[in-house]
Structure 1
Amino acid sequence: MGLVAAFAIGLLATLAAGAAAAAPARIILLRHGEKQNAWKLCPVGVQRSQALKAQHLGKGAADSLFRPGETPKAFFAITLHTLELITPAATSWGQPVITYSVLPEGSPADFREQLNVQTRKAAQDLLNDPRWDGSTVVVAWEHDHIAKVVPPAKAGKMPGPVPVTLYDLLGLAKFKDAPANWPDETYDYFWIIDFDPATKAPASFRMEKQVFSGAFAGVPQNDWGAPNGLTPASKCQMPKPKKKADRKAGGTQ
């Protein structure tokens, strides 16, 4: 058995048994902002990063997601897009961003495999590192590695059920309201996962829309799975047309 498969099986067994060594009290999970290319956010995504700091995630935010008097313990990112999105909020708290760094280099397959590896490592650390035990952490991630339905044509070619999304690695399938797929044009939601302090297992899940006002009222706030209304004039990358098999599976490219 390969090392990756062995790790995945071991992590799944831990999740199934509810035997994580440690776990945050809460994970606030969100996707990166709208992107211009593989390396940076478009102007709309940059505005979203500032809106998140001002209204939801920054110190003194108008509609903070944190409990009164609470300080987030850590901010996490995986790609340049997620790092760019979450840095303003983290900086407002005087905190660095902990990165499981993956750069958009090499072939698409190589990039995807690095995302797989780093997502598995991040999940393992979240569920075992005592630094985060009992705290609130913010995780900005790549959407296909938050949740993704694999089209049947691709699923049949995969060597085995090795989990590569936080949906699987954190055991979110137990919640009927947790979507198994994150849509391409949806950038404006938080997933909030609370953990049982005794078992360290996920105890509740909810989705919350990012709602902005004032100077940030123009940042897209579309419903889950609905078009975000952006056009090429925004300088944001447009979603690729879905293939027939992907439409049936609800997957994204």
Structure 2
Amino acid sequence: MAPDRIMFIRHAEKPDASAGLGIEADGKADEESLAVRGWQRAGALARFFCPIDEARSERLTPATVFAAGNGPASKSKRSMQTVTPLVALLRQTSQVNYITAYLKEDGAALMTDVLTQRGIVLIAWEHKVLPPLIGHIPGAPAVPAAWPDERFDMVWILDRTDGRWSFSQRPQLLLAGDRAEPIR
């Protein structure tokens, strides 16, 4: 059994010259954490994926959330921090399967697990790895070859109908400066 829908997002904004320092949820400086703007996006994503008005959900509420874990080769906490507010919100109202067991380079194992899930799956990962992840899906549709460094504002969606996958993009449009045009 495979999920009906798999959604992909990159982790929210990371520290850099324009976004500022990385900080933990408690405000402690940490270069492996989100920038302040990233925390703003993480909070906004909670209601994007779990809207108050179910009629407006557009099948965005995940039953399973995967976020890249951290380990010796990748100490980044950003993928997990990006979905932390969403997972907390989902746990208030329903069961959610939250998995952080895979490191960013564990693409084949991650996607094997993803394909055993049911319903809607959300994957928050490092942007350079997202296009190759999709390549692990049998019969995967064509997607853009690269996720641009400056884009934190898009959701890639794979829908499965009659055993075939289709690809679409949904702009988040959550923060000032977010863009509606798809990634090409």
Instruction: Specify the TM-score bucket, using the shorter chain as the normaliser.
Output: 0.7 to 0.9
> What is the CA–CA distance in structure 1 between the aligned matches of 2:182 and 2:151, rounded to whole Å?
6
**Structure 1's 211 and 172: CA in aligned 2 closer, same or farther, altered over 3 A?**
farther
Match of 2:127 in 1: 143
Counterpart selection for 1:209 from 153, 166, 171: 171
Aligned pair partner of 2:62 in 72, 77, 83: 72
Greater helix share, 1 or 2? Answer: 1
1:25 corresponding residue in structure 2: 4
Residues 25 and 190 from structure 1, CA distance in 2 versus in 1: closer, same or farther, beyond 3 angstroms? same
Query: Which residue of structure 1 aligns with residue 98 of structure 2?
Result: 97
1:1-20 deviation per Cα after TM superposition (whole angstroms, max 9, x unaligned): xxxxxxxxxxxxxxxxxxxx
What is the CA–CA distance in structure 1 between the aligned matches of 2:53 and 2:85, rounded to whole Å? 12
| Distance change >3 Å, CA 87–CA 61, structure 1 → 2 | farther
Q: What secondary structure, in the 3-state scheme, does the structure 2 residue paired with 1:193 have?
A: strand
User: Structure 1's 61 and 189: CA in aligned 2 closer, same or farther, altered over 3 A?
Assistant: farther
| Kept in 1: contact 2:157–2:169 (CA 8 A) | yes
Distance change >3 Å, CA 125–CA 101, structure 1 → 2? closer
**As a proportion of its length, which structure holds more strand?**
2
The one-letter amino acid of 2:49's match is L
Q: TM-score, normalised by structure 2?
A: 0.74
2:39 equivalent to 1:46: yes
Three-state SS of the structure 1 residue aligned to 2:107 is helix
Distance in 2 between residues matched to 1:58 and 1:174, nearest whole Å: 26
> Distance in 1 between the 2:43 and 2:183 partners?
23
CA change 1:61–1:143 in 2 (3 A) is farther
Counterpart residue type for residue 47 of structure 1:
Q
CA RMSD of aligned residues (A): 2.5
1:91 positional shift: 1.1
Moved over 4 A (4+): 223-226
The C-alpha deviation readout for 1:74-121, integer Å capped at 9, x for no partner, is 11101421100011111111036211343xxxxxxxxxxxx32x2211
Per the TM alignment, residue 209 of structure 1 is displaced from its structure 2 partner at its CA by 0.7
Of 119, 132, 141, the residue aligned with 2:107 is 119
Secondary structure of 2:135 counterpart: helix
CA distance in 2, matches of 1:87, 1:172: 31
Separation in structure 2 between the aligned mates of residue 192 and residue 225 of structure 1, nearest angstrom: 12
Distance of aligned partners of 1:46 and 1:193 in 2 relative to their CA distance in 1, 3 Å threshold: same
Q: Distance in 1 between matches of 2:83 and 2:107?
A: 17
Structure 1 residues 65 and 44, CA gap change in structure 2 (3 angstroms) = farther
Per the alignment, in what secondary structure is the counterpart of residue 8 of structure 2? strand
Q: Which runs of 5+ in 2 are unaligned?
A: 16-21, 23-30, 70-76
> Number of residue pairs matched?
157
1:138 Cα deviation after fit:
1.1
1:1-253 paired onto structure 2 within 5 Å: 22-36=1-15, 38-54=31-47, 56-60=48-52, 64-66=57-59, 72-79=62-69, 80-94=77-91, 95=96, 97-102=98-103, 115-116=104-105, 118-127=106-115, 129=116, 132-133=117-118, 135-147=119-131, 165-171=132-138, 174-175=141-142, 178-197=143-162, 199=163, 201-202=164-165, 204-212=166-174, 217-218=175-176, 220-222=177-179, 223-224=181-182
The answer to whether the 8 Å contact 1:119/1:166 transfers is yes
Structure 1 unaligned blocks of 5 or more:
1-21, 103-114, 148-164, 227-253
What SS does structure 1 have at the residue aligned with 2:13?
coil
